[in-house]
Chains A and B, each alone.
Chain A
Amino acid sequence: MSLMEKYPKEVKQILAKYPPEFKRSAVMPLLYLAQRGEGYVTKSAMTEIARALDITETEVASIIGFYTLYHDKKEGRYRMQVCADLPCALRGADKFLAELCGNLGIRVGETTPDGTVTLESVACLAACDKAPMFQIQSPDGIEYHENMTIDRTMELVEALKRSGQEGR
């Protein structure tokens, strides 16, 4: 089903934000909309967005390619994006990330075998006083988890796995 059919209200709201002659502005919010469900932008969604905004697929792809929160490939349903940037690292983020790798049995950039979690190391998330922290990007949005411990993180992973199985 097309985006416009699936989310007519949202699409309308998004387009209303920008002057009609600059509807290209809607490309970023529409890409977030396209990531709902699968967690990445499918080729057909790209085409649809391009048509709706009078731009080319190349232009849409080039936006996806520039911004790190858009994805054009299917990976884990939950992207666990750990901040390992300077301020967090000064408060133990590197160690936290390493231990997390051990617990999950994967390296940074990899996905758990069941497809639940992809582990990523990202730039500063503006939560420097609450390290260690990470955000979870899922098809439904982004959620912060701050002042984390390994135990609490693993509990969360278990919960995600369970909800993923129920959802299936």
Chain B
Amino acid sequence: MADVTLTIDNKQVTVPAGTLVVDAAKRAGLDVPVFCYHPKLEPAGMCRMCLVEIGRPMLDRATGKPVLDEAGEAKIQFMPKLETACTNPVSEGMVVKTQLTSEKARAGQKGTVEFLLTSHPLDCPVCDKGGECALQDLTMAHGPGQSRFLFDEKQRLAKQLPLGELIWLDRERCIQCARCIRFQDDIAGESVLGFEERGRMMQIVSMSEPGFDSIFSGNTTDICPVGALTTSDFRFGARPWELNAAPSICAQCPVGCNLTFNTRREAKADGQIVIKRVMPRQNEQVNEIWMCDKGRFAYHYVESEKRLTRPLMRRDGKLAKVSWKAALDLAAEKLSEHKKNSVTLVSGRLSNEDLYNLNIFAGKTEAILYTDMGGGDLTSLVGVSDGTNIGDMGKGDAILVIASDLYNEAPIWWLRIKAAAERGATLIVAGGRAAKLDRFATFTIRYAYGDEIKTIEDLGGKSKIAEAFRKAENALIFYGSDGLGLAGSTSLAAACANLLKETNHIGRRNNGLVGVWPRVNDQGAWEMGFRPTADLAEALKGKAVYIVGADPAGDDPALAKALKSAKFVVVQDISMTATAELADVILPAQPHTERAGTFTSGERRVQRFYPVVPAFGESRPDFSITAQLARQMGIILEGSSLPIVFDFIAHSLPAFDGLNYDRLAEVTEQWPMVGRGDMYYGGTTYENKDGLGAHLSSAAQRGETFKLPAAKNVKPLRPKEGELLAVPVTQLYDLGNTVASAELLAQRIGAAAISLHPETAGKLGAADGETVKISWNGSQSEVRVRTDEGLAAGVALVPRSFGIALREPMTLTVKPAKKVK
């Protein structure tokens, strides 16, 4: 858009047309105070804090030209009333006088503060927001020294009201700015907050079940300009000014949200530094200023009681604490002994540096990625390229989401793709069941589970949808493993890659393939050369295994069995898992909060994380442990300097070419500006000072020639009469190792349940909430039934990480469980 020049407080400012006066001032370094305005939300103009004087050039009615004064300058006509800077867009020649140059504006703002304080309690000394409160700050800066309101005439309202079990409301502190409601309506698309009553009685309510039923609820506490909304996790936890801040990356999903961990020393933790809360950190290309509740509340696994603090070794059948030397000696000895017959099994929980070392360590022996989703080799070829930003996508672009329930698998992508669709991007949502994203889709495709490949092939054809995708200026495909196992997702990736190539949607920014991986760094593991295997049990049997960051035994009894028959098992992990229970040697590792490193997101953005708290016990970072183990076996790996390991990576992998730790730590100016002295503007989100990261290049972008594999047509499984088609799906809150220990989330996690269409359930004589016995592939289990109208008949959704080991689509039978007396 064309630029507009205006004058604010005697300063000439040039900004794009359409910019609001408040933002234009901000860009010019002039702060207009706001409460209800938030740069990510549509202006509401309701708090009346941003009052300024606005003048516009007088226009001659006849000619439409500006009227000039004696000096030849355009005559400026000021409005008789103050106007809100947050609702008025700039216009050419406009003259704005803020509180800095206008007594009238100053008085207006002072009045607004006085009005707000008439209803606000004076409980700053015990308020969680004290120290980072917009009202506190703006009262100091712009308010009257003294209020004329008689304090005991203040309205009394509920002060400790749980909106759900995660967020609390203090109704007296609320200043009715509706930021939280507007966030939920417009950004999260979950209208579970509203006002009840009107006038001075207006109060926030949530009527959902469970209360405040949104996976983005924590964000409202960041943008609430007062201490009205607080999280159960942090309330009464600490004062903001006691907190230290450490930059990090969320490790819960492949989005790679930028975070800040707040910490402080605590006496009750023996003077240790502990994590007090998790806050979003701005990265406009990744998570903007948001994060999901899983990231915010599930971090407690890093401080769980199950954490491993010392190496352990099996002696007389029992695990006993030993020194690092003893543990490493034995592990090295046994792994060397079975060198030809050993396997390295890793997971996407690990950093790029860990995985690089592990891959060299594995050498020619088998290096397996523990996952049920394939296709990472293809995302390396045709994955999104440098500069990709969903936030830039809109009209003319297309996004296809297939076999992924992004809401549950990668919440912030869900949020950003929804926004892209609202900006006009063509959104195609293809799935085997109804998903939350459908509501925002331009086209929804509902296929029968098993027909994923066919669905993509059809998109290469002639339909209206196919046309829309082909003609899009830019196109992304997000594919996942909803209802798919390794074989299915591998084929799906190939089909998607081919479609992108045929439609010329590769090798450029905002084009390409994105894998919705189950773990934070699965993409990194693929880049480092790890590959999943079709039959993991077979691969483990009779081998010497080095398992890092994975819990196969906890997920699947068949894998536990395979491990039991392994020759020797070394487990390296952060906490005690079912797999570790089976180990001969256990090496305690550090979660990402205790060390530095980098992760590669699903969008192939490499980002740095930094140590947040000191290491637990004697735990060490994975890359070091591997280097130490390797050294004993005669392999030289870098085990102390992460930047050096990263340089090795950059030199050996073309995708990483040109990247280094300094480059990843670079920051360019982001809009909106947040997290400085002006918390009233963007909320308590942290400013990013520690790196926006960088994209890996794709082979397509580098202009390499490569051949894409054709999609293998896996024959869809069609169950017989009396059987159901059971498919694995991902639930946001599950019983995985990184979630289950978050007590706060227990209610949202719920019990293991399979989901059936009500009619299917009816035919089986099972009602919603009832327990049934299920059998599949020789296994049996008792689970609850949940009914879901959005499913196809004859399909059973089986949630992953809920103790039901279903790793591929399978047939399953359901019988009523015996009634327990």
Chain A residues near B (Cβ < 8 Å)? 46, 55-62, 64-66
Contact B195 A56 (CB under 8 A): no
B94, CB-defined interface residue at 8 Å? no
Q: What are the residues of chain A within 8 A of B193 when measuring CB–CB? A: 58
| 6 closest Cβ pairs, A-B complex | A62-B194, A65-B196, A57-B207, A58-B207, A58-B194, A61-B207
User: For the complex, what is the distance from the CA of A57 to the CA of B194, rounded to whole Å?
Assistant: 10
Contact A57 B208 (CB under 8 A): yes
Contact A55 B191 (CB under 8 A): yes
Q: What are the residues of chain A within 8 A of B148 when measuring CB–CB? A: none
Q: Mark B165-196, 1 if CB is under 8 A from A, else 0.
A: 00000000000000000000000001111111
A88 to chain B, nearest CB (A): 22
User: For the complex, what is the distance from the CA of A63 to the CA of B195, rounded to whole Å?
Assistant: 9
Chain B residues near A (Cβ < 8 Å)? 190-198, 205-208
User: For the complex, what is the distance from the CA of A23 to the CA of B259, rounded to whole Å?
Assistant: 40
Contact B197 A65 (CB under 8 A): yes
Contact A58 B197 (CB under 8 A): no
User: For the complex, what is the distance from the CA of A61 to the CA of B192, rounded to whole Å?
Assistant: 11
Give the one of A55, A59, A61, A62 with max B CB within 10 A.
Answer: A62
B616 to chain A, nearest CB (A): 42
User: For the complex, what is the distance from the CA of A21 to the CA of B206, rounded to whole Å?
Assistant: 25
A52 to chain B, nearest CB (A): 15
When C-beta atoms are compared, the residue in chain B nearest to A62 turns out to be B194
22 pairs, CB–CB < 8 Å, chain A vs chain B: A46-B207, A55-B191, A56-B190, A56-B192, A56-B207, A57-B207, A58-B192, A58-B193, A58-B194, A58-B208, A59-B191, A60-B207, A61-B194, A61-B196, A61-B207, A62-B196, A64-B196, A65-B195, A65-B205, A66-B195, A66-B196, A66-B198
A42 to chain B, nearest CB (A): 13
Q: What are the residues of chain B within 8 A of A60 when measuring CB–CB? A: 207
Q: What are the residues of chain A within 8 A of B195 when measuring CB–CB? A: 62, 65-66
User: For the complex, what is the distance from the CA of A46 to the CA of B207, rounded to whole Å?
Assistant: 10
A78 to chain B, nearest CB (A): 24
| 17 further A-B pairs in the complex, CB-CB below 8 A; given A61-B194, A65-B195 | A46-B207, A56-B190, A56-B207, A57-B208, A58-B205, A58-B206, A58-B207, A58-B208, A59-B191, A60-B207, A61-B205, A61-B207, A62-B196, A62-B205, A66-B196, A66-B197, A66-B198
Picked from A57, A59, A65, the residue with its CB within 8 Å of the CB of B198 is A65
User: For the complex, what is the distance from the CA of A62 to the CA of B180, rounded to whole Å?
Assistant: 15
Q: What are the residues of chain A within 8 A of B198 when measuring CB–CB? A: 65-66
Q: What are the residues of chain B within 8 A of A66 when measuring CB–CB? A: 195-198
Q: What are the residues of chain A within 8 A of B205 when measuring CB–CB? A: 58, 61-62, 65
User: For the complex, what is the distance from the CA of A64 to the CA of B195, rounded to whole Å?
Assistant: 10
When C-beta atoms are compared, the residue in chain A nearest to B211 turns out to be A58
A68 to chain B, nearest CB (A): 9
B235 to chain A, nearest CB (A): 22
When C-beta atoms are compared, the residue in chain A nearest to B439 turns out to be A54
Majority DSSP secondary structure for residues of A touching B: helix
User: For the complex, what is the distance from the CA of A65 to the CA of B205, rounded to whole Å?
Assistant: 10
User: For the complex, what is the distance from the CA of A58 to the CA of B191, rounded to whole Å?
Assistant: 7
User: For the complex, what is the distance from the CA of A58 to the CA of B190, rounded to whole Å?
Assistant: 10
When C-beta atoms are compared, the residue in chain A nearest to B209 turns out to be A57
When C-beta atoms are compared, the residue in chain A nearest to B198 turns out to be A66
B593 to chain A, nearest CB (A): 36
User: For the complex, what is the distance from the CA of A59 to the CA of B193, rounded to whole Å?
Assistant: 8
Q: What are the residues of chain B within 8 A of A58 when measuring CB–CB? A: 191-194, 205-208
User: For the complex, what is the distance from the CA of A132 to the CA of B198, rounded to whole Å?
Assistant: 28
B584 to chain A, nearest CB (A): 54
When C-beta atoms are compared, the residue in chain A nearest to B203 turns out to be A65
User: For the complex, what is the distance from the CA of A61 to the CA of B198, rounded to whole Å?
Assistant: 12
Q: What are the residues of chain A within 8 A of B207 when measuring CB–CB? A: 46, 56-58, 60-61
B517 to chain A, nearest CB (A): 32
User: For the complex, what is the distance from the CA of A60 to the CA of B196, rounded to whole Å?
Assistant: 10
Contact A56 B208 (CB under 8 A): yes
Q: What are the residues of chain B within 8 A of A56 when measuring CB–CB? A: 190-192, 194, 207-208
Q: What are the residues of chain A within 8 A of B190 when measuring CB–CB? A: 56
Q: What are the residues of chain A within 8 A of B197 when measuring CB–CB? A: 65-66
Q: What are the residues of chain B within 8 A of A55 when measuring CB–CB? A: 191
Give the one of B195, B196, B205 with max A CB within 10 A.
Answer: B196
When C-beta atoms are compared, the residue in chain B nearest to A60 turns out to be B207
A123 to chain B, nearest CB (A): 12
User: For the complex, what is the distance from the CA of A137 to the CA of B191, rounded to whole Å?
Assistant: 31
User: For the complex, what is the distance from the CA of A58 to the CA of B208, rounded to whole Å?
Assistant: 7
A150 to chain B, nearest CB (A): 32
User: For the complex, what is the distance from the CA of A57 to the CA of B212, rounded to whole Å?
Assistant: 11
User: For the complex, what is the distance from the CA of A56 to the CA of B188, rounded to whole Å?
Assistant: 14
Q: What are the residues of chain A within 8 A of B208 when measuring CB–CB? A: 56-58
When C-beta atoms are compared, the residue in chain B nearest to A67 turns out to be B198
A85 to chain B, nearest CB (A): 16
When C-beta atoms are compared, the residue in chain B nearest to A65 turns out to be B196
B183 to chain A, nearest CB (A): 14
When C-beta atoms are compared, the residue in chain A nearest to B191 turns out to be A56
When C-beta atoms are compared, the residue in chain A nearest to B196 turns out to be A65
User: For the complex, what is the distance from the CA of A60 to the CA of B206, rounded to whole Å?
Assistant: 11
A24 to chain B, nearest CB (A): 11
B285 to chain A, nearest CB (A): 31
When C-beta atoms are compared, the residue in chain A nearest to B194 turns out to be A62
When C-beta atoms are compared, the residue in chain B nearest to A55 turns out to be B191
When C-beta atoms are compared, the residue in chain B nearest to A46 turns out to be B207
A110 to chain B, nearest CB (A): 20
User: For the complex, what is the distance from the CA of A62 to the CA of B181, rounded to whole Å?
Assistant: 11
Q: What are the residues of chain A within 8 A of B191 when measuring CB–CB? A: 55-56, 58-59
When C-beta atoms are compared, the residue in chain A nearest to B201 turns out to be A65
Q: What are the residues of chain B within 8 A of A62 when measuring CB–CB? A: 194-196, 205
Give the one of A56, A58, A64 with max B CB within 10 A.
Answer: A58
B546 to chain A, nearest CB (A): 50
When C-beta atoms are compared, the residue in chain A nearest to B206 turns out to be A58
User: For the complex, what is the distance from the CA of A56 to the CA of B205, rounded to whole Å?
Assistant: 12
User: For the complex, what is the distance from the CA of A55 to the CA of B189, rounded to whole Å?
Assistant: 11
Q: What are the residues of chain B within 8 A of A65 when measuring CB–CB? A: 195-198, 205
B67 to chain A, nearest CB (A): 44
When C-beta atoms are compared, the residue in chain B nearest to A64 turns out to be B196
Q: What are the residues of chain B within 8 A of A64 when measuring CB–CB? A: 196
User: For the complex, what is the distance from the CA of A60 to the CA of B191, rounded to whole Å?
Assistant: 11
A56 to chain B, nearest CB (A): 5
A45 to chain B, nearest CB (A): 13
User: For the complex, what is the distance from the CA of A18 to the CA of B717, rounded to whole Å?
Assistant: 45
When C-beta atoms are compared, the residue in chain A nearest to B193 turns out to be A58
User: For the complex, what is the distance from the CA of A60 to the CA of B205, rounded to whole Å?
Assistant: 11
User: For the complex, what is the distance from the CA of A66 to the CA of B197, rounded to whole Å?
Assistant: 5
When C-beta atoms are compared, the residue in chain A nearest to B212 turns out to be A58
User: For the complex, what is the distance from the CA of A168 to the CA of B191, rounded to whole Å?
Assistant: 40
User: For the complex, what is the distance from the CA of A58 to the CA of B206, rounded to whole Å?
Assistant: 6
Give the one of B194, B196, B205 with max A CB within 10 A.
Answer: B194
B422 to chain A, nearest CB (A): 15
B157 to chain A, nearest CB (A): 14
A108 to chain B, nearest CB (A): 17
User: For the complex, what is the distance from the CA of A58 to the CA of B197, rounded to whole Å?
Assistant: 12
User: For the complex, what is the distance from the CA of A31 to the CA of B207, rounded to whole Å?
Assistant: 17
A61 to chain B, nearest CB (A): 5
B442 to chain A, nearest CB (A): 15
When C-beta atoms are compared, the residue in chain A nearest to B190 turns out to be A56
B162 to chain A, nearest CB (A): 15
Q: What are the residues of chain A within 8 A of B196 when measuring CB–CB? A: 61-62, 64-66
B441 to chain A, nearest CB (A): 15
User: For the complex, what is the distance from the CA of A23 to the CA of B195, rounded to whole Å?
Assistant: 21
When C-beta atoms are compared, the residue in chain B nearest to A61 turns out to be B207
User: For the complex, what is the distance from the CA of A58 to the CA of B8, rounded to whole Å?
Assistant: 42
User: For the complex, what is the distance from the CA of A46 to the CA of B190, rounded to whole Å?
Assistant: 17
User: For the complex, what is the distance from the CA of A56 to the CA of B191, rounded to whole Å?
Assistant: 6
